[in-house]
Amino acid sequence: MKDINSGKELVNKIKSFIKNYDFEIIASEGKSELTRFAESYIHQNVAENNINLIVKVINEDRISTVEMNSIDDHTIAKNIEKAIEVAKIAPKLDYHYQLLKPQLYKIKSKYSKDTANFKPLNRAQLVSQLIKEVNKREYEAAGAFRTEESTLLAANSEGVFAFDRGTKVDFNCVITRDNSTAHTSFIDSDINNFNINKITDELLGTALKNVEQIEIDPGIYTVILSPEAVSEILNYAGYTAFNGKTIMEGKSFVCHNQGKKIFPETITVSDDPFDELTMPIPFDLVGYPREKTDLIKNGVIKDGVYDHLTALKYNRKCTGNTLPPEQASFGALPFNLVMKEGSNSVEEMISSTKKGIYISRFHYVNILNPMSVQLTGMTRDGTFLIEDGKIVRAIKNMRFNTGVIDMLKAVDMISKERQTKPGFIGPAVTPYLRTNNFTFSSKTSF
Amino acid sequence: MKKILKDILDWLEPKVSYADLRFVQTEKENIEVENGILSSYNVSTDRGVGIRVLADGAWGFAASNNLDEASLQETAAKALDIARASALTKKEDIRLASEDKHIDTYITPIVKNPFQVSPSEKIDLLVKATKMMLKDKVKKSEGSFSFYKTYKIFVSTEGSELEQTIFESGGGITAYAIGEGDFQKRSYPSSFGGDYATRGYEFIEEMNLLENAERIAEEANQLLIAPPVPEGIMDIVLGGSQLALQVHESCGHPVELDRVLGKEISYAGGSFLTLDKLNNFTYGSPEVTIVADATVPGGLGTFGYDDEGVPASKSYLVNKGKFVGYLMSREDALKLGLKSNGAARAENWNRIPLVRMTNINLLPGNLELDKLIGDIKEGLYLDYNKSWSIDDKRINFQFGTEIAREIKNGKLGKIYKNAVYQGITPEFWKSCDGISSEKYWHVWGVPNCGKGQPGQAMRVAHGTSPARFRKVKVGASK
């Protein structure tokens, strides 16, 4: 399934095995290679080729799904036979399962031949360069460097045929020297945009400041969040609050606040595959074209994202956020979270802060209260005290128990600069944020 | 398949200091039901070969779903190329702790093969259970089952040849009571998908889902109108299900030797149980003894051999409060001059073995449950995990639970919602002054322990019985 033609051949093959039923297909194929390093040497270095084929058989609102990673005739036939057998006896859905009709697709994933051809030795050379530079300052480096090439196909018996090919570069690194640490991450489709010197400078710049950390007391603080920290918060909010299924079930704060302006005018968050900084995912896993969906617009709560099943069940419009069948009961997630930029420079945000905390990164974030979107987690790899407009000291890590709604209500500055950072599905595009309501609940010892 | 693997191994042998090949084939059946309606029925088959080599003193690994011999030879060549690239940054040659050659077969003992139970029988059970839960404010109910049959072949240049067939079964039910601006959930037999074991369908039958469905629905309804848990420092008893996750996060992860050595620092983090603390650190009270035991019958972390060909074993991690051992792979064990205790596990054929938990068990004490609770004047009984988080050295933790029960003058009282407790790992375990007896001990399966890049979800377990902890910080999520 390396190209459109092999994708079409696969669809035709499956058609020949399923004569009397409707069906949907999701197929993916790819190679993924990852070089992992720690203590300044490569300790894990892996490569994988795989294919995955999912066939959903639909028999008058009775559905079953089979999944396989071999596409020879025997394997496909045997699995489809099993799917048909179960689709005959499965209880019916309580709504009519309608197949998607053929669609037009406006965007494609980004593809870089250089990324696809990047070799283990190329990755090792860049890692080696980084290690040498940070070792000069007596830091150790640890991280992961992945290059990937993949194809994705979604099709059905109504004639939907969506095919896409993309590449990905995904890098993250932590450098450490005793308790002095720093972290950075990079995500893009094109290896030519990866600049190891810039990454090294960024890491050392943070780490050299993150020394002799002092303890501060828990409490409510003004904080400036890095784009990475903002991405993590927004992804959890997307997961728990902007999932159309939880909204329909009455399990999200969105269902009681839709249309209300509860955040400052400057807060606009969307699921937007068209943003210039994102890595677009062109269709969801039933082949629905992805579109821009406003979650929060100028401070007003708009709506969530919807998968095909939830949209059918509750008579809503699918927003192109359908997940694979095994995760279908979850509902939907934003694929390309985007937060609109503000008007401030990061320097202005810091210099206008009388007393506050700069947070580089979170660790082990989790949901404390899904209805109020209260989250918990730790700070990590560079948390700094700001006094009188300057970063004055590094501080020890803290646990936060903070409500995202209260946090966003108190946002008073947003940076013009935005960065592309890892997200739950596709990457998120996020700015720096300053909020005057962020609750730290306890401390740790480092 | 074994012959092809051995042929590839013969080809690799002169080029490497060590190599192993793993063929893994997994059949999986997953059933999900919501409100009495089948929402997902999914059967999957997956197979492939992973080839791991030590060449030029460094690791390389390549994996493919293409099983013909020529393709696997290309995969082996790729693993060699990768190892040579890894060698660019090596500090010293990687070596492995010694291990005997093993030629053996292991099959999970089961009573009832879950793949021979009809789909309709399984679906019907979940349909009935989820319908029974739809009472009063319970507007949503969920139930799920998952069954796995994994067949593995392992061959290595040291002459080991192992075949294992592992069966896993699990599932559970959840009731959601939904009100205006709030919802509360109760799960059975455990939260986040239920309970799992290396057993057959008999494990599902023993859960008695139908007998418990109405009870947990009623508890969810009660939680919706219950007050939030009072805040303060108080004595608590943790039920077995919550305690399993407490063991997992605050003991299971920090004793992983690869974390201690910094190999996970960029992602999951490190550990406060540094090498200087081994045999030299008070982890908990004398009540606390924790073992890694991959031989417990039925444990989700039970197997014959790990994915480096090391036999399943039992070893002490914490003995009467003293920290005495790590979970180890062959490579990491050698750094301590030890042999591996069989904790290197790979999620699948396309992942390398990492140091993983097996069954990490808190051994039972000798108290009756009413005695454990009876010695608390004012406190809480907390159970069934709802939220978890811990810092990157595994020191500051915080857990939320589905349900809290008041303990007053040694008796269980009213229900509270939104309970959260927080602590510092060694201080918390030092505050443990009572563990209930074997009668209450159960091995809880945790099917989704995440680690590594690329990510690997491992199926592990924790034997626990309810235990008492003094002066713990408790609050309510808001």
- Write out chain A residues lying below 8 Å of B424, CB-based: 444-445
Q: How confident is the model at residue B246 (pLDDT cuts 50, 70, 90)?
A: very high
Rounded to whole angstroms, the Cα distance separating B478 from A439 reads 12
Q: Helix, strand or coil for residue B209?
A: helix
Residue of A171, A139, A381, A40 lying closest to B261 (CA atoms): A40
Residue of B350, B464, B404, B395 lying closest to B64 (CA atoms): B350
Residue of A107, A72, A99, A228 lying closest to A155 (CA atoms): A99
State which CATH number among 3.40.50.1010, 3.20.20.150, 3.40.50.970, 3.30.2290.10 fits the domain covering B2-225.
3.30.2290.10
Task: Report domain extents, chain B.
Answer: 2-225, 232-476
pLDDT, tens digit, 9 for 90 and up, residues B116-130: 999 999 999 999 999
Q: How confident is the model at residue B90 (pLDDT cuts 50, 70, 90)?
A: very high
Nearest-CA distance from A47 to chain B in Å? 5
Q: What's the average model confidence in pLDDT over A332-354?
A: 98
Question: Cβ of B91 under 8 Å from any chain A Cβ?
Answer: yes
Residue A246 has pLDDT above 90, yes or no: yes
- Write out chain A residues lying below 8 Å of B224, CB-based: none
Inter-chain touch A364–B41, beta carbons under 8 Å: no
Q: Which candidate from B86, B389, B393 shows the least CB-CB separation from A377?
A: B389
3-state secondary structure A147-205: EEEEEEEEEECCCCEEEEEEEEEEEEEEEEECCEEEEEEEEECCHHHCCHHHHHHHHHH
Nearest-CA distance from B326 to chain A in Å? 19
Between A18-22, B306-310, B456-460, the lowest mean confidence (pLDDT) is in: A18-22
In DSSP notation, B28-54 reads EEEEEEETTEEEEEEEEEEEEEEEEEE
Q: Which candidate from A144, A374, A378 shows the least CB-CB separation from B478?
A: A374
Domains of chain A plus CATH, in order, are 4-209 (3.30.2290.10), 219-443 (no CATH)
Q: Which candidate from B35, B42, B120 shows the least CB-CB separation from A326?
A: B42
Q: How confident is the model at residue A445 (pLDDT cuts 50, 70, 90)?
A: confident
Q: Helix, strand or coil for residue B219?
A: helix
Rounded to whole angstroms, the Cα distance separating B98 from B340 reads 8
Q: What's the average model confidence in pLDDT over A199-223?
A: 97
What percent of chain B has a predicted confidence (pLDDT) above 70?
100
For A145, name the nearest residue in chain B, comparing CA atoms only.
Answer: B453
Rounded to whole angstroms, the Cα distance separating B11 from B213 reads 57
Inter-chain touch A69–B48, beta carbons under 8 Å: yes
**B386 — alpha (psi -120 to 50), left (phi > 0) or beta?**
alpha
User: In the beta sheet, which residues pair with residue A41?
Assistant: A38
Residue of B469, B467, B478 lying closest to B419 (CA atoms): B478
Sign of CA dihedral A384, A385, A391, A392: negative
Helical (H) or strand (E) element with B390: strand B378-390
Q: Which candidate from B61, B84, B123 shows the least CB-CB separation from A91?
A: B123
Q: What's the average model confidence in pLDDT over A234-246?
A: 96
Inter-chain touch A251–B178, beta carbons under 8 Å: yes
For B39, name the nearest residue in chain A, comparing CA atoms only.
Answer: A329
Choose the mutation target among A74, A79, A86 for the interface with B, i.e. most B CBs under 10 Å: A86
- CB distance A321 to A295 below 8 Å: no
Residue of A22, A21, A5, A10 lying closest to A53 (CA atoms): A10
For A83, name the nearest residue in chain B, comparing CA atoms only.
Answer: B43
- Write out chain A residues lying below 8 Å of B273, CB-based: none
Tokens 């690329």 label which residue?
Answer: B454
Q: How confident is the model at residue A2 (pLDDT cuts 50, 70, 90)?
A: confident
Q: How confident is the model at residue B423 (pLDDT cuts 50, 70, 90)?
A: very high
Residue A1 has pLDDT above 90, yes or no: no
Tokens 């092999």 label which residue?
Answer: A6
Q: What's the average model confidence in pLDDT over B69-92?
A: 96
Q: Helix, strand or coil for residue A135?
A: helix
- CB distance B362 to B247 below 8 Å: yes
The mean predicted confidence, pLDDT, of chain B is 97
Residue A326 has pLDDT above 90, yes or no: no
Rounded to whole angstroms, the Cα distance separating B373 from B382 reads 12
Q: How confident is the model at residue B43 (pLDDT cuts 50, 70, 90)?
A: very high
Q: What's the average model confidence in pLDDT over B162-185?
A: 97
Rg (CA), chain A: 24
Question: Cβ of B352 under 8 Å from any chain A Cβ?
Answer: yes
Q: Please give the pLDDT value at position A187.
A: 97
Q: What's the average model confidence in pLDDT over A412-427?
A: 96
* Cβ neighbour number for residue B35 with a 10 Å cutoff: 18
pLDDT, tens digit, 9 for 90 and up, residues A172-197: 999 999 999 999 999 999 999 999 99
Rounded to whole angstroms, the Cα distance separating A66 from A82 reads 8
- CB distance A221 to A356 below 8 Å: yes
pLDDT, tens digit, 9 for 90 and up, residues A388-405: 999 999 999 999 999 999
For B94, name the nearest residue in chain A, comparing CA atoms only.
Answer: A43
Rounded to whole angstroms, the Cα distance separating B50 from B66 reads 11
* Cβ neighbour number for residue B60 with a 10 Å cutoff: 30
- The burial of A260, by beta-carbon neighbours within 10 Å (0-12 exposed, 13-18 middle, 19 or more buried), is given as exposed
For A35, name the nearest residue in chain B, comparing CA atoms only.
Answer: B86
Taking a contact as any Cβ pair under 8 Å apart, which residues of chain B between 168 and 207 contact chain A?
176, 178, 180-183
- Sorted by sequence, the CB contacts under 8 Å of residue A72 that are 6+ apart come out as none
Please give the structure tokens belonging to residue B289.
């003894």
Nearest-CA distance from B239 to chain A in Å? 19
Cβ pairs bridging A and B (under 8 Å): 264
Sign of CA dihedral B324, B327, B332, B333: positive
Rounded to whole angstroms, the Cα distance separating B239 from B380 reads 11
Nearest-CA distance from A283 to chain B in Å? 22
Rounded to whole angstroms, the Cα distance separating B380 from B431 reads 15
Determine phi and psi for B242, rounding to 5 degrees. -65, -40
**A40 — alpha (psi -120 to 50), left (phi > 0) or beta?**
left
Inter-chain touch A124–B352, beta carbons under 8 Å: no
Residue B185 has pLDDT above 90, yes or no: yes
- Write out chain A residues lying below 8 Å of B139, CB-based: 249-250
Rg (CA), chain B: 23
Q: What's the average model confidence in pLDDT over B321-350?
A: 98
For B49, name the nearest residue in chain A, comparing CA atoms only.
Answer: A48
Inter-chain touch B391–A364, beta carbons under 8 Å: yes
| b/e map A421-436, b = 16+ CB within 10 Å | bbbbbbbbbbbbbbbb
Question: Cβ of B424 under 8 Å from any chain A Cβ?
Answer: yes
User: In the beta sheet, which residues pair with residue B352?
Assistant: none
For A443, name the nearest residue in chain B, comparing CA atoms only.
Answer: B396
Question: Cβ of B42 under 8 Å from any chain A Cβ?
Answer: yes
Q: How confident is the model at residue B307 (pLDDT cuts 50, 70, 90)?
A: very high
Measured in residues, chain B has a length of 478
- Sorted by sequence, the CB contacts under 8 Å of residue B205 that are 6+ apart come out as B112
- Write out chain A residues lying below 8 Å of B398, CB-based: 376, 399, 401, 441-442
Q: What's the average model confidence in pLDDT over B289-304?
A: 98
- Write out chain A residues lying below 8 Å of B82, CB-based: 33, 45-47, 120
Rounded to whole angstroms, the Cα distance separating A189 from A191 reads 7
- Write out chain A residues lying below 8 Å of B55, CB-based: none
Q: Do the strands A140-156 and A22-38 form a parallel or antiparallel pair, or are they unpaired?
A: antiparallel
- CB distance B196 to B146 below 8 Å: yes
Nearest-CA distance from B367 to chain A in Å? 32
Nearest-CA distance from A115 to chain B in Å? 17
**CA dist A9 to A4, A71, A79, B13, B336, Å?**
9, 11, 18, 40, 55
Inter-chain touch A38–B78, beta carbons under 8 Å: no
Nearest-CA distance from A344 to chain B in Å? 31
Q: ipTM for the complex?
A: 0.94
Question: Cβ of B275 under 8 Å from any chain A Cβ?
Answer: no
pLDDT, tens digit, 9 for 90 and up, residues A19-72: 899 999 999 999 999 999 999 999 999 999 999 999 999 999 999 999 999 999
Amino acid letter for position B6: K
Rounded to whole angstroms, the Cα distance separating B269 from A444 reads 14
- Write out chain B residues lying below 8 Å of A309, CB-based: 39
Q: Which candidate from B82, B263, B391 shows the least CB-CB separation from A120?
A: B82
Nearest-CA distance from B374 to chain A in Å? 30
